[in-house]
Amino acid sequence: MPDSGAKPSTLSVLPRGAAGAVAAEKSLDTMPSVAERMWQATDDISGFAIQDVIAAEEDRHALKLERKILREMQRVDDEQASYEDEVVRASREQAELSWAAAFERATETVDPELLPHESAEVLKSLIQRNLLQYTDMRDNPTRFFEAHRILSKRLVGGFGIRFTVQFNLFAGSILGLGSDAQIAELDKLRDDAVLGCFALTEAGAGVNSGLVVGTTATWDPSTRSFILHTPDALARKQWISQGLTASQMVVIADLIVQGKSHGPHAFLMPLRNAHGQLTPGVSVGDMGGKTIANDLDNAWISFDSVRIARSCMLDRFATIEGEDKYVSRGGETMRLEVIGQRLLTGRMCIAQAALVFARTLFKTTREYSDSKGVWNPADTNAILSDVPQLAALYDRADRDLTDMEEFVGEVESQLCRCLSESKIPSAELVEAIAVCKIRGVGLATELCFKLQQEVGSFALLGGGGFEHLDMLLCCKFAEGDERILMQKMARDRLKQVQEEIGGGLGGWFELATELMGEAPRRREAMKALQLALAMKTRAPKQNQKQLDDVAQFEVDAETNQAARKQEAKAAMVAAWTDSWEEVYELAAAICDRHIAEVTQREQAQLEAEKEWVILAKRKEFAMHGRL
């Protein structure tokens, strides 16, 4: 084909859309301007370049036009996309509102006055309505948390615990720790409205259950089954919610394979058959009456060499292979954070429940005190809400609850991201969740008990909400006791500061940076240093004493070494116990830092500055004393 001499149009090779617009801009930028091309033309004696200039000018115009069109198309695309996003967001919002209304209606039959078996039936019908699915914790975690909030608003007594045990601890453990096949069983558990319980707490370990587990699950290769056993009274499970009504149970036991302990693992096993008869070898009893939540059954449970199938082991992260080989899988070793994943979601639910409880109690009390007249010599229309100490409490409650809700909301959204991606939360997030529970429950408790003291006879009236106040005590120790969580925070931070101190120049530099850093971090570093020093001064005393004691025994070197190790550990524990004030002060500083970083940065900074001034003044005073 003869060459026509015509240049291929630049337009025809340009891509469409945003990339096209960028490409068009680029090609315009690199093209010489008309003036430059004219200079080239006059330099060209043949005059032939003039045609080039004209052609280039035409291209330039075409490109300009193309750029305009592409920009316009891009704008229309963007507008269309944002319109579609808005429509999707609005319809999702509407769907969630309708869902919340339906869930609220479905829980109308919840009544704290029901007997435990009646309350259990209410839960069964709620499960079958499938408004909240067991997989929502992973697929729609926001809805999972919202369901808990809705229930808390209704001050439903023991039903709130029953609900969270079923959806979070029982079904949630299957979802988090089960294999795909075990997770698939959740649909049947829902269709049959099977009630489940979660047996972690043991009599001896109390709030340290999980860290200490006495119940054993011993692998028997000859029958390819586990033998579940309660070796002594201390290992008996207790306080197990729904333990008198459930037919299935997730139980935490120390897994023993070939005589070796592999630590706590979760097993899903039948507790009762369809006729309500207990699995042979399982004993159950009632924990007795409580000050609140008597619509919830709480049981102690013990096992006498109960044989359970191999398939009972929730085996997403660990399994038994071959005859008797323990294997980790799924990219995680079975550690406390993995086995206790549901304790993390539970902690969020409890923090939220406590805050919603406080909001609701303040709202109903406020409605009462707004309409309740009080005698006032200067004002015949005075109302209870105007009494200054109560008015101040209302103000403070509103302010502090708002801040706490902001912090808890932020942590919840981070946790929701982990749940959606089936990821184990980072150490920092785990700590932030603990802060939500410690501070959320702490604030709700402080405010509600104060309100009880200030509002007169209303606090005694049934139906006002104050009769459920002890629920806040439950919140304090459930799913991770406040004190134990605080100790864990302090221990982690102490380890870090000890590493920094022992880490040579680099470590000291890191510590110095923290001590000079942002105020909340600085305060935390200071408290960590104080605890490290307190431990250092308290521990050697213990060590010396114990070394002398050890020297009195004339036994072989190995026993001596083991004894010394044991003694040194005891000395550390004793020093830790003696330093309990510094431990909790450090934990409080860590909590403050987490909250300040989300909410009131500047205020926290100012307060920490104040603390430095006080410390400096104290030092100055001490110096004067010595002089």
Ligand X SMILES: Cc1cc2nc3c(=O)[nH]c(=O)nc-3n(C[C@H](O)[C@H](O)[C@H](O)COP(=O)(O)OP(=O)(O)OC[C@H]3O[C@@H](n4cnc5c(N)ncnc54)[C@H](O)[C@@H]3O)c2cc1C
Write out the residues near ligand X by the rule CB under 6 A. 161, 165, 197-201, 206-209, 239-241, 293, 298, 474, 477-478, 481, 483
Give the residue carrying structure tokens 């890191």. 510
Q: What is the DSSP letter of 537?
A: H
Number of residues written out for the chain: 627
Cβ distance to ligand X smaller for residue 207 or 429: 207
CB nearest ligand X: which residue? 206
* CB nearer to ligand X: pick between 346 and 465: 346
Of residues 475, 451, 448, the one with CA closest to residue 352: 475
- At its nearest, how many Å lie between ligand X and the CB of residue 415? 20
CB nearer ligand X, residue 171 or residue 293? 293
Which residue number, 225 or 302, has a Cβ lying nearer to ligand X? 302
Smallest separation, CB 241 to ligand X (Å):
3
User: In the structure encoding, which two tokens stand for residue 487, read together?
Assistant: 């100790």
Measure Cα distances from 157 to 162, 265, 535 in Å: 9, 31, 43
Nearer to ligand X, 240 or 255 (CB): 240
Smallest gap, in angstroms, from Cβ of residue 580 to ligand X? 8
Q: 206 or 456, CB closer to ligand X? A: 206
Q: Which two tokens stand for residue 380?
A: 């015949």
Q: How far is the CB of 79 from ligand X (least distance, A)?
A: 53
Q: Which is nearer to ligand X, 161 or 448 (CB)?
A: 161
d(CA 288, CA 397): 35
Exposure letters 515-540 (e unless 16+ CB within 10 A, then b): eeebbbbbbbbbbbbbbbebbeebbe
Q: Which is nearer to ligand X, 266 or 478 (CB)?
A: 478
Shortest distance, position 244 Cβ to ligand X, whole Å: 12
C-alpha 384/C-alpha 145 separation (Å) is 35
List C-alpha distances in Å: 556 to 311, 553, 560, 561, 622: 47, 9, 6, 9, 50
CA 448 – CA 459 distance, rounded (Å): 10
d(CA 126, CA 136): 15
As measured in angstroms, the least distance from the Cβ of 162 to ligand X is 9
Q: Which is nearer to ligand X, 197 or 397 (CB)?
A: 197
How many alpha carbons lie under 13 Å from residue 262 in its C-beta half-sphere? 23
Contact 256, 218 (CB under 8 A): yes
Minimum distance of ligand X from residue 205's CB (angstroms): 7
**Cα–Cα distance, 376 to 241 (Å, whole number):** 49
Beta bridge partners of 264: 254
Q: Three-state SS for 355?
A: helix
**Least CB distance from residue 198 to ligand X, whole Å?**
5
CA atoms within 13 A on the CB side of 116: 21
Shortest Cβ 420–ligand X spacing (Å) = 26
